[in-house]
Amino acid sequence: DIQMTQSPSSLSVFVGDRVTITCRASQGISDYLAWFQQKPGKAPKSLIYDASRLQSGVPSKFSGSGFGTEFTLTIISLQPEDVGTYYCQQYDSYPLTFGGGTKVEIK
């Protein structure tokens, strides 16, 4: 199975800050990488697929990059509504696997 490792596991930032979350795959997955946002008490929401493509309706403040084993999710100018946990996921091969999540909070 492909292991997905996210870092950091949590971060606390000021409103307006730029946030960067890293996701590493235990083996190469091309660009078969997705990012999801889960707000407290809610179902996850799909943000990015194919490492860098935004899902329909997702604001351009979110961006993704990477290929192979190293990937990044960036949120520019974090706002209170962006608080939640972010997960990466590989869909290169089954079983599909998620990273452990990164909890983003406001200072």
Partner 1 sequence: QVQLVESGGGVVQTGRSLRLSCAASGFSFSNFAMHWVRQAPGKGLEWVAVIAYDGSTQYYADSVKGRFYISRDNSKNTLYLQMNSLRPDDMAVYYCVKSQQRPVAGKSFDFWGQGTLVPVSS
Footprint of partner 1 (CB under 8 A): 1, 32, 34, 36, 38, 43-46, 49-50, 55-56, 87, 89, 91-101
Please state the closest distance from residue 18 (CB atom) to partner 1, in A: 24
Q: Is 81 helix (H, G, I), strand (E, B) or coil?
A: helix
Please state the closest distance from residue 44 (CB atom) to partner 1, in A: 5
Closer by beta carbon to partner 1, 35 or else 78? 35
